[in-house]
Structure 1
Amino acid sequence: MREEMDTARDDRPLKRNRSTRDDLEQIHNYHGLNTTTNFEGIAGAHFERLYSVNVIAKIWGVAQRAFSRPTPPILFPEYTKPGDIGYVYRELDFWTSGFFPGCLYLLLERQRKYAHNLRRIGLSPTDHVPHELQLQTTHDLGFMIAPWARAAWELENDVRGYDTVITAAKSLASRYSPVVGCIRSWDTCVTKRYSFQDLDKNFLVIVDNMMNLDMLFWAAAELKDDKMYAVALNHAKLSQRYHVRADFSTAHVVNFDPATGAMKSIITNQGYSDESCWSRGQAWAIAGFTQTYRWTRDGSFLETAKNCADYFIKRLPPSGIPPWDFQAPKNEPQPTDTSAAMIASYGMLLIHEAEIAAGRPSTYLQHALRIIGAVCTSHVNSPAEYVSHDDFIETPDGRGLGNQKETIDMGSGAETILNGATINNYEFAPRRWANHGLVYADYFFLLVGNKLLEMGIGEGLVRG
């Protein structure tokens, strides 16, 4: 097992950030493309929006409000209401709190690792202001902590970031039940249709939790902790067995008997029905099982991820943007979910890397690019921009002191980069939001952009 953990990242392709034609040809060949590949034709154009100044301005326009205050923020952006512009904020202990700080670190990563690539295509990376969060105990620690704390360690050698990830991983692992064989997701769940509030009778596990395992595997490798590794591995195996159906669609919530480990029921909390396929849940599975494969080298996880991706791809409408649920009635207008689109695209890029590294042909890059391009074409909000103006300070001698001050004009569009997301459209959900902006849609939009730069093809996408 230790050998597996120590070599778990070896399948990643070499990072290539050069821009000569020979190097681009080598990159294209590596990824099964050719130098005449028309990326715009594959994905629908507008890839430049992945790296535009608008992306930086949107993030900083929101962030600068917190930076101007004397105390760390306790509320974090989550979503914009349908038809509205401004973010709605949630408390520090809410599961989405890590994504906006994560966006800042993704911009920092662009500055540190890919600044030369971006400057070649006429773009400038931004500066960075550090950010800190405090730890809360919940299954969503992977979402709340990893996007920023692990980046703080890897990009800035911030020991506090490292310690925070390790502490979060230990806390997450403590929610593991050896009887059930996985980590408890929600302690309780109440909708207009059902109520689960007794922890002694219910053990709720959601497909989303596959994305939290990456943090566990990482911490297990750092600590050389076989028990933590086993917790993550066992959870993935159980999720593979119960969340993934025979046709490779995914269920959202599985309820187990905490005393016996037996499955009690399968339900949805955000999809169309208990038997349907909620598209963001499918996206979590695509990315989560691929991440698990990268750590374990268990080929069954990669096969599961590929099959889930194939299900996702085959059910995409001509627009390339997934509906919020693949089984929602087609005879009625259905909201899209750009967060599902970006998460699934990220997972497909990981699958592509694994396939190419194994010497197998892959179409997953093209499928990912098609989805990314569709989002860039149809669901990027109107831009924010940097605006310079004179800042004059008067002095007694009448000469004064003047300088140029730069601010961000958020314009008339929403504060999010993307629109077209859907938090929850379940008929019996306590809150239903669709067709709006969402912080983790933006996070994965940035993450996909960075991943394409890491793979060596992001710059080529913008140049066309």
Structure 2
Amino acid sequence: MASNAELTDNDITQLVIYAAQQTAKTWSRLSSKRKYPAYGDPQEEEWSETNADKWTCGFYPGMLWMVYHFTGDDQFLTWAERLQDGLTEVQHNRSTHDVGFMVFDSFGWAYRITGEKKYLPIIRTAAESLMTRYRPIVKRIRSWDNKGWNQQPGDDVTHSFLVIIDNLMNLNLLFWSAKQFTQPAWYEAAHAHALGTAANFLRPDGSTFHVVEFHDETGEVLERRTHQGYADDSCWSRGQAWAVYGFTESYRHTRDPELLRAATRAADYFIDRLPEDAVPYWDFNAPVEEGREQPRDTSAGAIAASGLLELSLYTGEKESRYYGQAQRILKSLASDTYLTRGDPKAKISSLLLYGTIGNPDK
């Protein structure tokens, strides 16, 4: 029986209906069927749109596939295929680790939902593209190509190899493709990257760094810092959510106990620092200023809740803790405080309010 902090079956049904309505409304508001919604101001009807070269471009096609899966409405299938067509060339993009986000959240869902084999060559090529960013000596997949990002005058950036915590989320493409296409080297690369992330991004208290710079010939850690968090030694909540979700997903594929330990450490830190309503602030360590509350990040909450639900399947005595905390987060996100339908002034066709894409007021 559902507790007061748990979504009921009727709650979930109503949320799916609302998600379908908002997803359809977004389709009607796109300026072009070769543009992809990224973020928006709640007081504006228009989305900030991107081309098929930004890390978020696969998300909305993925939403269309999911809504089709849950509703069976062929209109969403038609829209998903039409918008996804514009992402076909992304499979060849070797300039970003986010090819996993971009292709597996679109073509990956297309295959898993429909079973259509026409999507497989695109997924395979995307995995091949991602593998070009793997450096065996470092045992990591490079995230960013801009060597010496945030460098100081006089810094030697010749051997800079940048990795961000977000990169865990792109490993699913390699793990899945390794099995689908019988490519054990892809599995080994993804596994090595996940273990390296656990070893070099997790602090003793379970919090995470955002960016780690390695030496591209030795794998030595050169520096740890942040790009989207409050400070180099703070904990950006969406990065922590990537860790909860990403380590859990990597454990699913590998059953490596070290990755399960990493997932639980990241999860415990996240849970223990949630505010009363369970929706995290954008950074767990950003100072509280008098008369000004730090921005929330509902996207961090949603990502972590998804990871916690899966983590609860693997953790025995902690199952009720992780499942219960996931439900606590989701219940709050589904309330009128955070769902767009609860704000009569909200015009944007999103599902949630208060997503913090980045907070420049550090």
Question: TM-score of the superposition, structure 2-length normalised?
Answer: 0.88
Q: Does the 8 A contact of 1:50 with 1:376 survive in 2?
A: no
C-alpha distance in 1 between matches for 2:339 and 2:13: 8
Q: Report if the CA contact (8 A) 1:257-1:264 is conserved.
A: yes
Q: What percentage of aligned pairs have identical amino acids?
A: 35
Letter in 1 for 2:121: D
More strand by share: 1
* Partner-residue secondary structure (3-state), 2:224: strand
CA 1:191–1:50 in 2, change beyond 3 Å: closer, same or farther?
Answer: farther
Q: Distance in 2 between matches of 1:354 and 1:339?
A: 24
Shift of 1:310: 0.8
Q: 2:326 aligns with which of 361, 368, 375?
A: 368
Select the structure of larger CA radius of gyration.
Answer: 1
Match of 1:381 among 337, 340, 346: 340
- Give CA deviations for 1:242-294 in whole Å, capped at 9, x if unaligned: 11111110000000111222111011000000000000000000000011101
Residue number among 48, 55, 70 corresponding to 2:19 in the alignment: 55
1:310-321, aligned counterparts within 5 Å? Answer: 310-321=268-279
Counterparts of residues 143-222 of structure 1 (less than 5 Å) = 143-188=101-146, 200-222=158-180
3-state DSSP of counterpart to 1:47 = helix
Instruction: Normalising by structure 1, report the TM-score.
Output: 0.70
Deviation of residue 125 (structure 1)? 9.3
2:213 paired with 1:255? yes
Displaced runs of 4 or more, over 4 A: 42-46, 124-127, 189-199
* 1:298-377 correspondence runs (5 A): 298-331=256-289, 332-355=292-315, 361-377=319-335
Q: Residue 203 of structure 2: SS of its match in structure 1?
A: coil
Amino acid at match of 1:414: I
Which residue identity lines up with residue 226 of structure 1 in the other structure? P
Instruction: Answer whether contact 1:187 1:197 (CA < 8 A) is retained.
Output: no
- 3-state SS in 1 of match to 2:212: strand
SS in 2 for 1:81: coil
1:283-294 pair list within 5 angstroms: 283-294=241-252
Q: Does 1:414 align with 2:353?
A: no
Change (3 A) 1:196 1:153: farther
The answer as to 2:52 corresponding to 1:92 is: yes
Cα distance in 1 between the residues matched to 2:218 and 2:178: 27
Deviation of 1:223 after TM superposition, in Å, equals 1.6
Amino acid at match of 1:41: A
Higher relative contact order (CA 8 A, sep 6+): 1
What stretches of structure 1 of length at least 5 have no aligned partner?
A: 1-34, 113-123, 385-409, 429-464
Q: Is the 8 A contact 2:148 2:157 kept in 1?
A: no
Whether contact under 8 Å (2:38, 2:57) holds in the other structure is yes
Q: Secondary structure at the match of 2:48?
A: strand
1:237 corresponds, among 192, 195, 200, to 195
**More helix as a share of residues:** 2
Secondary structure in structure 1 of the residue aligned to 2:295: coil
Aligned CA distance change for structure 1 residues 318 and 81 (closer, same or farther; 3 Å): same
Q: Summarize deviations over 1:338-369 as a string: whole Å, max 9, x none.
A: 0000000000011012235xx87432111000
2:311 alignment partner, SS class: helix
Corresponding residue SS for 2:328: helix
- Pair 1:82–1:243, CA change in 2 (3 A): farther
Asked whether the equivalents of residues 147 and 158 of structure 2 are also in contact (C-alpha less than 8 Å), the reply is no
Question: 1:153, 1:162 within 8 Å by CA — same for their partners in 2?
Answer: yes
Q: Secondary structure at the match of 1:54?
A: helix
Aligned residues: 350
For residue 157 of structure 1, report the CA deviation from its aligned partner.
2.5
Shift of 1:330: 2.3
Structure 1 residue 190 displacement after superposition: 8.3
Q: CA contact under 8 A between 1:75 and 1:89: conserved in structure 2?
A: yes
Which runs of 5 or more structure 2 residues have no equivalent in the other structure?
Answer: none
Q: Deviations over 1:13-36 (max 9, x none)?
A: xxxxxxxxxxxxxxxxxxxxxx3x
**Contact 2:42 / 2:348 at 8 angstroms: preserved in 1?**
no
Q: Deviations over 1:96-128 (max 9, x none)?
A: 10000010011122135xxxxxxxxxxx89742
